[in-house]
Structure 1
Amino acid sequence: MRKYARRNGLERRFRGSKNWLAVGALAATVLGSSPPSAAAVKESESAAGTAASVPAASLPVKRINVAAGPLDAAIAAYEQQTGLHVRVDLPQGTLAGFQTKGVSGLFAEDEALDLLLAGTGLSFRIENESTVAIGLQAKDSVDVSASANSVALTQFTEPLTDVPQTVNVVPQFVMQEQAVTTMRDSLRNVPGISIAAGEGGAQGDNLTIRGFSARNDIFLDGIRDFGSYYRDSFNYEAVEVLQGPASVEFGRGSTGGVVNQEQKQPLLNEKISGSLQLGTNLMRRVTADVNEPLTSLGSGAAFRLNVMGTQTNVAERDVAETQRYGIAPSIAFGQNSPTRFLVSYLHEGENSTPDYGLPYFLYKLPDVNRRNYYGFANDNFLRTNPDIVTGRVEHDFHLPVTLRSSLRWANYGRNVRITEPQVPSTPVFSTIGGVRMVACLPPACFPINYDPNQVQVRRNQITSKSDEDILWEQTSLVARVKVAHVENSVVLMLEGGRERSSPQRTTYSVPNTSLLDPNPYDIFAPTSAVLGAKTHVVSTSYGLNLLDTLKLTSWLQLSGGIRFDYFNTDSLVDALGTTPGSHTSRLDKQPTYRAAVVVKPRSNGSVYFDYGTSFNPSAESLSLSANNATSAPELNSTTEIGTKWDFLHEHLNVSGSYFATEKQNARETDPNNTTNTILVGTQRVRGAQVAAIGHMPEHFDIIVGYAYLNGVVEKSILNASPFSSQYIQGDPVYGQFPYFFSPKGFPFANVPKNSGNLWITHDLWWHFVGGFGSNYVAARRASSTAMAAVYNSVTPAPVTSVPLDFKAIPGYWTFNAMLRRPISDHLDFQANVINLTNKFYIDQPHPNHLIPGEGLNAQIGLNVKF
């Protein structure tokens, strides 16, 4: 991501050996501080810009490589790499007498220029958004701006304006303004994404991108992060969403897109920042970010440490509580040299009281108190402990070639026991006109006129104790070469490794509770507990891809790629008692492709056409059994037409696209053998998206988006329609059981047709900065299947069906606000109000339960920086 980070009295890094003393000063500053100096206030209102909306060092960084040597040549290289114009206010020819030690590494543009001028006696000032002046007595001025115009992924060599794919970036400054604490909340700034509840066997972040599940399409610095846990944002530089099939870049999955978490990395400037947040929902959150150059280990060595501790309740949801802590140290060497090393570690520990919300009643949201908690407050738990270690080495050759190799080991420990509230699933029958019929369908099996006071809720215990781990190596070669006078940006990547999962579940039978008045403090006293067999799943895979962008002219680019994936999975279920063990395996070898054309009417804009493919193997989520082991991968394709434009010197990015994604052989349950899965369905999503992100003077920040998604089932094994006479299974006494099916024309689960987001900030009076935002999600269904009660008389009679019913979730609007003001040169006050109208809405739907969103709450925070 590109940025413009400028210094002034408010943001100058704390230099010298006293830097570590600022750690102790952080706590003292929180307890007491003085207003900002008059000079600081005056400087923050200078004509050249305004004070930064976030600390400059907290913004994303850019790699800059300028060789040592004459300063005039170095300045020319700096201009080319940053796009800034450098004006030299010195007598002609003077600059040629200066030498520079050069700069190589990850820097803000002002930091890189400062290092280039080190030891020369020269300084610089920011004239405007695109011009820097160098002179003998230049004075610093301020303008901090950022735009989402690049990502740190190796697979993307061009600015995002020239990437023929919808890419949304949520930068760190937006997350800070919104007081975001999780990846899930950061993604509310991206159109086309829906949040869903965790599945029974896999808790944690569960997403839908462009109508297709992205549960297994979450990455951390370009490597798959498949663990079942809720991800905190304390170590984020940015969150990037690449929409559309991306198997050619990332391998299996990615039907609707992928999410990449970009971690903070060590920098070559001294920095300390931190925050304290207190909330009306009993939130207590502390973060700290410390960066220290390690000059004793070399001029390019640096160490960075991010830590976090959070404890919070959920407004308008009794009992539910989150307790989480995190630590993320990283150390880098040789950042200003051709060969660079990085080692990082991430640990997030969570011990929370989970909330699976409310049950369905008659396939609808029940009319109950939104605070009702149906679990066991003292005996339900969610304990996760991911540990992720990454080592990376990069080398720049004399030719424009960079070799990067990353090695990662990660372990995702998990132990959970969560209550899923369900209305009992035993069918209830009635006799109407001498005909025996099913009054409703599982799990809401009560007659229409049943008294809710008598309804009992089944407390389904979802349990899992498991360790998942991954050992993965990724090596890439990035080269910019000319072939027949055509510039090529080539990426060659080879990656592979081993992924393992070993879940074991216990089945409990516990007493029911009341629908209207549950007691969350009931003693957890199961009437039975059955330990399930342990499953061992091992996947060995590798992928090889080649990507190329050809710049035929200044206005025409072609890009394409091909990848081959080898994905081999073995699943072994241990024998348990008299039940024998079992072994299943599946090997998939699958190519994927992408091709695109980019036309640039102007240098700051593009129009593109893109076609890409992806695949979903049966063992995509490291789960394989006899009913899907023989199934080939689902195959997907997407076509997309779009345009992207940069305005205001890349401070504002605007994009729009129209796309169509089709899954040609979707998996469905065989109606003649419900233990078998067959590939017969066709699913299609057509839609359009628009988005804009800007980071401009006067604290004018904006991120806005809208998505229209029309997802339907085009073909099904049933191809049924309402009031169909088809049925699946007969009942020997009462006739036909109800059945579930996904016929042609039915909509996708968790896919609202319309959704949008807005966040905007601007300067107010008396040095305050205000922010306002909203999210809209239209009505959606919790499942793409429909339910029909089919019945007949005991004696032979024509089979008839009652009308179809759906589990539908109503749409909603939510609104948020923010107010921020500097208290001193090192301290900002910030207040956020979430869900201003205290809207009761379902945030995370699931086919079996509904999780409400958080009610009205306020957070007051202090942000410290040195």
Structure 2
Amino acid sequence: MGSGVSAERRAKLLPLGAMVVAGLFGAANASAADEQTLPAVTVKANAEQQDGVRATKTRVGKVVQDPHDVPQAITTITRSLMEEQEANSLREALRNVSGLSFNAAEGGRSGDNMMLRGFYTFGDMYLDGIRDTAQYDREVFNLEQVDVLRGAAAMLFGRGQAGGVINQVSKTPMLYGINKVNVGVGTNGYFETKADLNQRIGETTAIRLNVMKRDEENGRSNPVSGTTPEIHRQGFAPSISFGLGTDHEVTLSHYWAQGNDRPDYGVPFNATAKKPESTYANNKDYWGVSGSFDESQTNVSTLSYLFKIAPDTQWRTVMRAANYKRSYWAVAPQGGAPTANSLASQAKTREFDTDNFVLQSDLNTSFKVFGMKNDLVTGVEYLKEDSTRWALQNLGTASKPLYKSGRYTSAAPNTYQGDTYSAYVQDTLEFVPDWRLTAGVRRDEMRSEYQSPVGSTGASTNFRGDFGENSYRTGLSWQPSAAQHYYLGWSDSFSPTADLYQLSGSQYPAERSKVSEIGAKWLLLDGNLAFRTALYHAVKDWERNTDLESTASILTKKRESDGIELELAGRVTDNWEVFSGLSLIDAEILEVAPGNGNKNFVGQMPRNTPKQTFNLWTTYQLPLGFKVGGGMEYKSKRYGGAPTGTGAFNPNWVPSYTRWDAMVAYEQPKYAIKFNIQNVFDKVYYDAIYDNGGFTYVGQARRFILSTEYKF
């Protein structure tokens, strides 16, 4: 049944995608002869502009290169784009990525948790190419850009999913640079101050310091107690680099962030209407209580060494030690009106302490064999993970509970220890002029042990997982000119049991994903404007459930996703910039979990997978230093709920939404004043769904932010 439906769906989608790609190919080829006579494409952007919303550098492919040259779809959120939108968290920044949707706190997996191309990505979060899968809310004050490499990427990064990799790129010291100090104030108690300070202290040495402190309140409140959600976060990120511009560059950095929030778990669904409950003050009611808290602290120390052996040969080694602590007690909406305690005895309670140690070493070089150019990338990696999870103890009563960080129940904690040894090699061969063949393989050997002293059945559950998996990546590229790139790629990935510090489906094989993609990339207007399109087909087997507490450990046995993506980024004129993306996804469950799967879900769309998403941000530079900008985000309707039980397919749904934002700024060489309106029309929308369908998050209400920036 599943295969038949799949074939029928692809028969409708693939011709459409083929026409889109073929039409674009034809448009480019019509002027290919003229373009081939032009000199290499140049980019009109100075150091201060940082290419605006179009990125020209990425290391997401293990070597520094232009995203235009990577034979795989990439979306890059630049610092300029984040600053223009006043996006102060990774979650806000990722609203610019088409085909991406947000999950809520599945089974305690709160923090940044996204779906990409219809597949979850909480195991595919990276910081400077190093795994960053701990559960916390990520900030952007120390980020230069965010690269989203779409599709399976296990050959480059190790175990992962079919949707793609989200890689945060940290700011590093420079021998030049402008120091900046920012202050922003806004409605609902918004206040943020941050600084980006860079100083050259020697001929080849520089230091950089980024700091941030932000407070936010919320228009929603508990109608009985008056309690409101709150965010209180701060961060500190110093770094120093030696040997900048020489053959030996060494960078030492540390990242510290702290959060002390009163979390908001949104609103429940109406059990009859199967949509978000809106009978209480138009979603202005908050189910949390004054005792709710979410405390976190993140420490990441990194030492990197870059040896430029020759102009075309580099050796890069990175060592990182990271600790993530988080403790929270949060009331989730359970239906009915909020009360002073809001069913507080049923709140979510967790405490985590995770230590990761990583050692990576990569070598990339170029050489010729029989006159054919080879670009070789090879490397090794060791990853040690150690995580402990506790349940917190109620120090109060059932009607008036009291929880504190560090006060655990008497039960022993859940623990996870893992050691992963990896090695990979990839070669890109230019076998004839303008044609390149990429082939790579990676081997991961994982030794892990998971212990859950008391499971849902009251019995102890211990599991030791020894996995040895290969991952592959291939691609064929044709670049007839500097402005054109056409490619066909295939990649796969795997994700074994317990890799995210949980036990799920230990008796089943590791998750496997396979992704095929055909795409094209063009640089227009002398390289100032980048346009790309991609058509992909992704299949995933043995999909694990995202809920830590679920007794149904396998969500689906097989599912697939077909899609088309279009993206535009850069300058249309010297004064006009645009960043926009469109994603059309047709996803389907082919086979449900063996034994306990609900067969009524076969042929249905997977959870939290909008069929259409669209994003737009554009700015225009006016005379006398004024700039205006605006944009929107659209997501079609999607459902929450896991395919369990035997009932009919009747999940909870959240409606489609469109959110509009606007900005006006006055910019001078030494200072700038900017006014942002987020959610201009105060649209009530829902941007994250709890996977089991119990509740949904309410999106950002209309907010006004006035910010100033001083440069020196």
Q: Same fold (TM over 0.5)?
A: yes
Amino acid in structure 1 at the alignment position of 2:264: D
Can you list the C-alpha shifts for 1:544-591, whole angstroms capped at 9, x where unaligned? 111111122332111111011111111234589x97755321111100
| Aligned residue type for 1:647 | L
The Cα shift of 1:783 comes to 2.3
Instruction: List per-residue Cα deviations over 1:117-137 (Å, max 9, x = no partner).
Output: xxxxxxxxxxxxxxxxxxxxx
> In the alignment, what sits opposite 2:295?
383
1:639 is displaced (CA, Å) by 0.5
**2:155 partner SS:** helix
Report the RMSD for the aligned CA atoms in angstroms: 3.0
Choose 559-568 or 359-368, whichever is displaced more. Answer: 359-368
Match of 2:583 among 700, 707, 732: 707
Contact residue 601 and residue 649 of structure 2 kept, 8 A: no
State the SS of the aligned residue for 1:628: coil
Q: Which residue of 2 aligns with 1:217?
A: 124
Q: CA deviation at 1:619?
A: 1.3
1:393 corresponds in structure 2 to 305
Task: Quote the residue 1:129 is aligned against.
Answer: none
Paired amino acid for 1:380: S
> For each residue in 1:608-652, what CA deviation from the matched residue of structure 2 results, as whole angstroms up to 9, or x when unmatched?
11111111211121212xx63232201110110110001122211
Match of 1:817 among 662, 665, 670: 662
Q: Tell me how far 1:765 sits from its aligned partner.
A: 5.1
Tell me what 1:745 maps to: 603
Instruction: Decide which of 316, 327, 336 is 1:404's aligned counterpart.
Output: 316
Q: 2:229 aligns with which of 292, 316, 320?
A: 320
Is the 2:629–2:662 Cα contact (8 Å) retained in structure 1? yes
1:194 equivalent in alignment to 2:73? no
SS of match in other structure, 1:187: helix
Shift of 1:145: 5.4
Say which of 664, 684, 697 aligns to 1:840.
684
**2: CA distance, partners of 1:453 / 1:246:** 44
Q: Distance in 2 between matches of 1:814 and 1:230?
A: 22
Asked if structure 2 preserves the Cα contact closer than 8 Å seen for 1:703 and 1:758, the reply is yes
Given the alignment, which residue of 468, 474, 491 partners 2:360? 474
State whether structure 2 residue 153 is matched by structure 1 residue 309: no
Equivalent positions of 1:157-306 (< 5 A) are 158-269=65-176, 271-295=178-202, 299-306=203-210
1:368 deviates by 2.1
TM-aligned CA deviation for residue 411 of structure 1: 0.0
Q: State the alpha-carbon separation in 2 of the partners of residues 751 and 764 from structure 1.
A: 39
Shift of 1:716: 2.1
Shift of the alpha carbon at 1:270? 5.0
Change (3 A) 1:315 1:393: same
Question: Deviations along 1:77-114, whole A, 9 cap, x unmatched?
Answer: xxx999589xxxxxxxxxxxxxxxxxxxxxx9779xxx
- One-letter amino acid of the structure 2 residue matched with residue 303 of structure 1: I
- In the TM superposition, what are the counterparts of 1:528-543 in structure 2 within 5 Å? 531-543=410-422
Contact conserved, 1:787 with 1:804, CA < 8 A, in 2?
Answer: no
Among 427, 439, 463, the alignment partner of 1:584 is 463
Q: Distance in 1 between matches of 2:433 and 2:53?
A: 25
Contact 1:631 1:677 in 2 (8 A): no
Equivalent pair of 1:588/1:632 in contact (CA under 8 Å): no
616, 620, 627: which one aligns with 1:762: 620
d(CA) in 2 for partners of 1:548, 1:453: 59
CA contact (8 A) 1:227 1:386 kept: no
Contact 1:747 1:784 in 2 (8 A): no
Alignment of 1:546-561 (within 5 A): 546-561=425-440
**2:481 matched residue in structure 1:** 602
Where does 1:562-577 land on structure 2 (aligned, <5 Å)?
562-574=441-453
Q: Structure 1 residues 769-778 or 312-321, which shifts more?
A: 312-321
Distance in structure 2 (CA, Å) of the matches to 1:418 and 1:160: 41
The SS at the match of 2:540 is strand
In the superposition, the TM-score normalised over structure 2's length comes to 0.86
| Structure 2: unaligned runs, 5 residues or longer | 1-38, 223-227
The superposition leaves residues 131-150 of structure 1 with CA deviations (integer Å, 9 ceiling, x where unpaired) of: xxxxxxxxxxx997563233
Match 1:614 to one of 480, 493, 509: 493
Question: How many pairs does the alignment contain?
Answer: 654
- 1:496 aligned residue (382, 403, 406): 382
Contact 1:713 1:742 in 2 (8 A): no
Change (3 A) 1:523 1:159: same
Equivalent of 2:350 in 455, 464, 472: 464
After TM superposition, the structure 1 = structure 2 runs for residues 98-117 of structure 1, keeping only pairs within 5 Å, are none
Match of 1:449 in 2: none
What's the counterpart of residue 96 of structure 1? none
Tell me if 1:828 matches 2:672.
yes
Please give the secondary structure, in 2, of the residue aligned with 1:314: coil
Distance 1:548 1:255 in 2: 22
Deviation for aligned residue 1:509: 11
For 1:854 and 1:358, locate their aligned partners in 2 and report how far apart those are by CA, in whole Å.
14
Question: Is the CA contact (8 Å cut-off) linking 2:544 and 2:554 kept in structure 1?
Answer: yes
Task: Give the distance between the partners of 1:151 and 1:399, measured in 2 at CA.
Answer: 18
Counterpart of 1:865, as a letter, is K
**Contact 1:315–1:856 at 8 Å: present in 2 too?**
no
**Are the counterparts in 2 of residues 237 and 262 from structure 1 also a CA contact under 8 Å?**
yes
8 Å CA contact 1:564, 1:590 repeated in 2: yes
Residue 284 of structure 1 deviates from its aligned partner by: 0.6
Letter in 2 for 1:709: I
Displacement of 1:679 after TM fit? Answer: 9.0
| Contact 2:555/2:593 (8 A) holds in 1 | no
Aligned partners of 2:461, 2:638: CA distance in 1, in Å?
39
Tell me, yes or no, if the aligned pair for 2:53 and 2:77 is still in contact at 8 Å.
no
Q: Which residue pairs with 1:640 in the alignment?
A: 517
- Aligned-partner Cα distance in 2 for 1:359–1:84: 50
Q: Which secondary structure does the structure 2 equivalent of 1:173 belong to?
A: helix
Q: Which is bigger in relative contact order (C-alpha 8 A, separation at least 6)?
A: 2
What secondary structure sits across from 2:80 in the alignment? helix
1:338 lines up with 2:247 in the alignment: yes
Structure 2 counterpart of 1:690, one-letter code: L
